[in-house]
């Protein structure tokens, strides 16, 4: 069902601006909202958004994301999955810089309740709502979907929808989006620290970067790993950020010389021996487990003053 421009303008006039959090909502812990039948219970949209604001506001955080691009007012019909919505004009929008848990190949949907729970969380937060859409720097994906940021009308954080869902553990960041990247990762860090949502599940939990066997078992999958850097070395035109004395025994994050120059060098990434890092990406096996780094958002220094970079 399409809406006329007048209807959307009217809905915009009635839509509330982003409001302060409700104090009582801050106690909700989605990690404990699993039903007796093994399905996740999704809080109401207003509660979801207010809890997320409370969580992210609970400590020094990255500033709310403010984008220069002008917003388009859109009406969301429904959530397609945990990171994609259908607009009432037929267009699909995938939230930029994030990914929702999906049922792995070879598994049945009923075996993967987080898939449905993440979709229900997005549906609860965005379904039937009139929101602002700002397109990402790469505005479409290979499937022709729009890629961008959804937020309440005149909300202070232009990545507000993704931030809310990240803070509750229904999404994880990909590290590929530079727009709003620090804000997204800060919200994700709150959920990781509290083991909320997907971070409470063994399949998604943060891996120990010094545990080569665990990381090798996740080959071909996107993972998040944390550990202390043992050494940084260069060989055959690549830089290796090693989390152990031997490659096969721990993770190595690798960067080509070209990628490192483009990212501003090791100092810009805040990477050195002894630093504690959070690394995200697809695990490959090259003698031992490796993650190829091509974007700055794939690496966070988590022992730096103020937390994640």
pLDDT score, position 156: 94
pTM here is: 0.81
Confirm if 155 and 132 have CB atoms less than 8 A apart.
yes
In the prediction, which pLDDT does 81 show? 96
> Would you state the pLDDT for residue 239?
96
Instruction: Count other Cβ atoms within 10 Å, centred on residue 37.
Output: 6
- Name residues of the chain where pLDDT drops below 70: 1-62, 304-309
Domain with CATH 2.40.50.90 in the chain: 5-200
6-52: pLDDT as tens digits: 455 454 444 444 322 222 223 333 333 444 335 555 554 444 554 44
Torsion angle (degrees, nearest 10) of CA 249, 247, 176, 146: -70
Q: Which fold has domain 5-200?
A: OB fold (Dihydrolipoamide Acetyltransferase, E2P) (2.40.50)
- Answer whether 76's CB lies under 8 Å from 126's CB: yes
- The pLDDT, as a whole number, for residue 234 is 94
Q: Which pLDDT value is given to residue 9?
A: 43
Q: What is the pLDDT of residue 27?
A: 33
- C-alpha to C-alpha distance for 156 and 158, rounded to whole angstroms: 6
How confident is the model at residue 13, as a pLDDT? 43
Q: Which CATH number fits domain 207-301: 1.10.3720.10, 3.40.109.10, 2.40.50.140, 3.30.70.330?
A: 2.40.50.140
Q: CATH 2.40.50.140 spans which residues of the chain?
A: 207-301
At 33 the pLDDT is: 45
- Indicate the SS3 state at residue 184: helix
Task: Round to whole Å and give the CA distance between 22 and 56.
Answer: 13
Contact 31, 105 (CB under 8 A): no
- What pLDDT does residue 58 have? 40
Residue with tokens 């990909």: 174
């Amino acid at each position: 069902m399409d809406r006329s421009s007048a209807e959307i303008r009217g809905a915009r006039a009635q839509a509330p601006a982003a409001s302060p959090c409700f104090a009582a909502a801050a106690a909700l812990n989605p990690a404990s909202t699993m039903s007796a039948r093994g399905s996740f219970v999704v809080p109401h949209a207003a509660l979801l958004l207010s809890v997320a604001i409370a969580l992210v506001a609970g400590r020094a955080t990255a500033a709310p994301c403010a984008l220069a691009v002008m917003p388009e007012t859109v009406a969301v019909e429904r959530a397609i999955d945990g990171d994609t919505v259908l607009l009432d004009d037929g267009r699909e929008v995938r939230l930029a810089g994030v990914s929702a848990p999906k049922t792995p190949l070879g598994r049945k949907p009923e075996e993967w309740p987080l898939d449905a729970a993440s979709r229900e969380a997005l549906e609860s937060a965005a379904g039937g709502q009139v929101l602002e859409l700002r397109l990402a720097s790469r505005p479409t994906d290979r499937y022709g979907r729009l890629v961008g940021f959804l937020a309440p009308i005149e909300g202070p954080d232009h990545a507000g929808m993704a931030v809310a869902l990240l803070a509750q553990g229904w999404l994880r960041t990909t590290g590929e989006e530079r727009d709003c990247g620090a804000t997204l990762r800060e919200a994700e860090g709150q959920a990781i620290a509290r083991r909320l949502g997907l971070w409470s599940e063994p399949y998604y939990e943060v891996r120990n970067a010094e545990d080569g066997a665990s990381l090798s078992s996740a080959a071909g999958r996107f993972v998040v790993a944390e550990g202390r850097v043992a050494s940084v070395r260069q060989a055959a035109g690549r830089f290796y950020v090693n989390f152990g004395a031997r490659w096969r025994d721990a993770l190595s994050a690798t960067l080509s010389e070209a990628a490192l120059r483009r990212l501003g060098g090791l100092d810009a990434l805040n990477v050195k021996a002894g630093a504690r890092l959070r690394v995200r990406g697809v695990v490959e096996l090259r003698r031992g487990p490796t993650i190829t780094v091509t974007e700055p958002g794939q690496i966070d220094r988590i022992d730096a003053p103020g937390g994640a970079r």
